[in-house]
Amino acid sequence: MGGIAGIFTVGEPLEAAERRALASGAEFEEERAFFCACSRSTLAQNDRYVVAVAGHFDRAPVTGLSAAETLLDYWTRSGLGALAHFEGAWTAAVFDRGARKLHLLRDPFGIRRLYFAESAGRIAFATSPKPLLDLPWVSREIAREQLAEYLSFRYVHAPRTLLRDVRALPAGHHLTFDGRSRLEPWFHLRYAPPYSALPEDKPTLEEIERRLNRAVAARASGKERVGVFLSGGLDSSAITLFASRLGPVHTFTVGVQDAEDDEVPYAGRVAHLLRAKHEVVRVDFEKFRGAFDAVVAASDQPITDPAAIPQYLLAKAAAEHVDVILAGDGGDEVFGGRMVGVLASQMRLSAWLGRLPGPARHAASRFFRDQRPEIEEPNVPFGLSRKIGGVHVFDAEMRGQLMRDPGWVREGVRRMCLEPLYREVVSDPVNEILHAYLRGRMPEDALARTGTCAALAGITIREPLLDRDLVTYCASIPGPWKVRTGVSGATTKWPLREILRPALSWGLVNRPKRVLPGPWGRWLSGPARGWLDERVATLREDPHRLFLPAAIDGLIGEVDRTGTDARLWTLLFLDGWMREVGAT
């Protein structure tokens, strides 16, 4: 899908090898600076600034200018304040020729990615880490100290990566470099303060619907052919509903052979009710195996969810019919999804217990026979005390059994990674947990996976539920309004359900939440066993001497045990990625 790259030095002039590593042709070049934009990316310059943009701006002023020309115009007048005018999925670099300063920028929610490396007065950047690894001063060494974080979450939080010399620009952040670098956020979400009164239902729902309609329209209007990834869940169904109001809509669903919960019938019913042209892509193990290496090779960092493979095959099929796909990433984090549903009643109980005097709190905790760290640490956010945020793969004990060096285990790594995310926001427990996912798992896992699959398939992905106007408004609403609790349990994503009720049946609106279905565990013990044995044999070679072979053998022996398949996939993707980038 193209990208941007560049290098700037305040010291010695650039060498030819540095220029060749980043691109074959430059669009701006001088003795100490070199910038380029490939394929669908753009570059613009005037007497003072050079601007490169990867991605697109939604709702930008209609001027006929490219994304880089538009940002150049606004930056010349407003500097960093220009970013308030731009919506969408983008990363950008702005070089101030007069001040000899480089600015690197990333969209608020991390839909697009940007990597950089620094050394002795030099900085290089690229939308993929692979060109940076060809620079003579950037090593391919694995950052072993980050392995514990990767194994715990199945990803590493920016600015950290699994490559020692390469860093990632965090979502909504701004890096400046003029010989030394400074990294700081340019975008902040403001959440409803603690104990805020709940808003009235009708006007609040109307406002969400208005903003959601505007978000979809901004990404579905124009000359491009637009489709929707439709799972039949609330997020994709809402996008399909609003897209259908603009005209005929084309939807795409993936079905995985042997999956326990087939989403295809649900998606088909939604498409029928909304009068969408509907395509179904079927994936069996042979198709999965055939695409595995391509997805690994396209990944900037290891993508460890096997759902990425059918997601890529779906994107590849959609690319034959449309130019742009609207995806539903962000719905859980914006409207209150499954990560808070099961905790809602516990939060209410913990809030009540937290108001008791100290001795009474301890007695109540013992009475309920529950480890309640938020009661023992009353000044710690509920979600942080329980280390909620992102996927759980290998806990500290498992990492200790797996890793060769006990120093890599890092027992407190999960809390260390989550604490900065929780400290960014002061709100009710629901919003705090949603924020931790919005800033953690979403950009590092879900969006990275979606973006990789789309780029490999040659199709553009747009994310209406991550519209800044929509997200900002929903953040200002107290969490208990989004997740309703009652005697029958919690109702997650309540506003989306209410908006969809007039258009869909009760069963579609109220069906349980499911992730992309997959028989990943059964495949490993069934049709994929021969393939798995080959991959594990390669994994056990372990040229980097990271893991204990006996621990890997133990995972194979427990392949039918719940959770073991996720741990095996995490290691298989990591091994494939390390070999692909030539890690040392």
Give the tens place of pLDDT for each residue, 207-222.
999 999 999 999 997 7
Q: Which residues pair with 101 in a beta bridge?
A: 96
Give the H/E segment covering residue 56: strand 49-58
Average pLDDT, the chain: 89
- 217 residue type, one letter: A
**pLDDT above 80 (res 559):** no
For residue 61, give the 3-state DSSP assignment.
coil
What kind and span of H or E run contains 460? Answer: strand 460-462
- Give the pLDDT band (50/70/90) at residue 379: confident
Contact (CB, 8 A) for 141 and 583: yes
At 485, the amino acid letter reads T
The architecture that CATH gives domain 3-185 is 4-Layer Sandwich (3.60)
Average pLDDT on 405-434 reads 95
Q: Which of 46-50, 488-492, 506-510 has the lowest mean pLDDT?
A: 488-492
The band of 182, judged by pLDDT with boundaries at 50, 70 and 90, is very high
What confidence tier does 357 reach under pLDDT thresholds 50, 70, 90? low
**Per-residue confidence (pLDDT) for residue 62, from 0 to 100:** 62
Query: Among candidates 543, 538, 541, which has minimal Cα distance to 572?
Result: 538
pLDDT at site 349: 53
Q: For position 90, what pLDDT does the model report?
A: 95
What integer is the mean pLDDT of 488-512? 88
Residue 253 belongs to what H/E stretch?
A: strand 250-256
Q: Which residues of 88-110 are buried (b: 16+ CB within 10 A; e: fewer)?
A: bbbbbbbbbeeeeebbbbbbbbb
458 closest CA partner among 36, 92, 39: 39
- The ranges assigned to domains in the chain are 3-185, 201-336+440-516, 342-427, 521-581
Here the contacts of 133-137 (C-beta below 8 Å, separation 24 or greater) are 133/163, 133/166, 133/581, 133/582, 134/20, 134/21, 134/22, 135/7, 135/17, 135/18, 135/21, 135/22, 136/15, 136/17, 136/18, 136/21, 137/165
What does the alpha-carbon distance between residue 375 and residue 382 come to, in Å, rounded to a whole number? 9
Poorest-pLDDT segment among 84-98, 364-378, 437-451, 460-474? 364-378
Is residue 580 within 8 A of residue 296, CB to CB? The reply is yes
pLDDT surpassing 60 at residue 523:
yes
Structure tokens at 407: 């120093």
How many angstroms separate the CA atoms of 426 and 418, rounded? Answer: 14
Calculate Rg over the CA atoms of the chain.
24
Report pTM.
0.93
CA distance 497 to 564: 34
228 contact partners, CB below 8 Å, separation of at least 6:
236, 239, 240, 243, 249, 250, 251, 252, 276, 325, 326, 327
| pLDDT beyond 60 at 354 | no
Per-position b or e across 396-408, b if 16+ CB within 10 A of its CB = bebbbebbeeeeb
* Cα–Cα distance measured from residue 106 to residue 186, given in angstroms and rounded to the nearest whole number: 9
Give the pLDDT mean for 407-418: 95
How confident is the model at residue 348, as a pLDDT?
Answer: 57
201-336+440-516: CATH, from 3.40.50.150, 3.40.50.1460, 3.40.462.10, 3.40.50.620:
3.40.50.620
Question: Which pLDDT does position 19 carry in this prediction?
Answer: 84
Burial of 215 (0-12, 13-18, 19+ CB in 10 A): buried
Type of residue at 528: A
Indicate the angle between helix axes 468-475 and 429-439, nearest 10 degrees: 150
Task: State which H helix or E strand residue 268 sits in.
Answer: helix 264-273
Tokens of 515: 């992730």
Quickly list H helices, 403-485.
Answer: 413-423, 429-439, 441, 447-457, 468-475, 479-482
